[in-house]
Amino acid sequence: MKNETRKNQENIFRELFQKNYGTPMSVSSESLNHKKQRFSKVCDIFKDDNDITIHDVGMGVADLYGFIQESHSQKKILYSGTEILKEYVEEASVRFPDLAFFHRDIAEKSFDDTYDYLLMSGVFHQRRESSIRQWEKFYQEIIKNSFAMCKKGIAFNFISPFVDFYQTPVYYCNLPKLINFINDDLSRFFEIKHDYALYEFTVFVYQESYIKSKTVQPEFQKYFKND
Ligand SMILES: C[S@@+](CC[C@H](N)C(=O)[O-])C[C@H]1O[C@@H](n2cnc3c(N)ncnc32)[C@H](O)[C@@H]1O
Question: The whole model's pTM is what?
Answer: 0.95
Q: Give the model's pLDDT for residue 1.
A: 46
Cβ neighbours, 10 Å, residue 134: 15
- Residue 188 is part of a domain; what is its CATH number? 3.40.50.150
From the alpha carbon of 121, which atom of ligand 1 is closest? Answer: 6
What is the domain range of residue 117?
4-223
The pLDDT of 142-161, averaged and rounded, is 98
**The one-letter amino acid at 189:** F
* Phi, psi (deg, nearest 5) at residue 154: -130, 155
Range of weakest confidence among 1-15, 75-89, 117-131, 142-156: 1-15
How large a percentage of the chain has pLDDT more than 90? 84
Burial of 128 from C-beta contacts in 10 A (0-12 / 13-18 / 19+): middle
Nearest CA to ligand 1 atom 3: 122
- pLDDT band at residue 134 under the 50/70/90 scheme: very high
27 lines ligand 1 (CB under 6 A): yes
The pLDDT of residue 3 is 79
Count: domains in the chain? 1
Confidence category of residue 4, pLDDT binned at 50, 70, 90:
confident
* pLDDT above 90: residue 175: yes
pLDDT tens profile 205-219: 999 999 999 999 999
Identify the residue with better confidence: 28 or 145.
145
Distance CA 109, CA 141 (A): 8
Among 33, 19, 29, 41, CA closest to 203 = 41
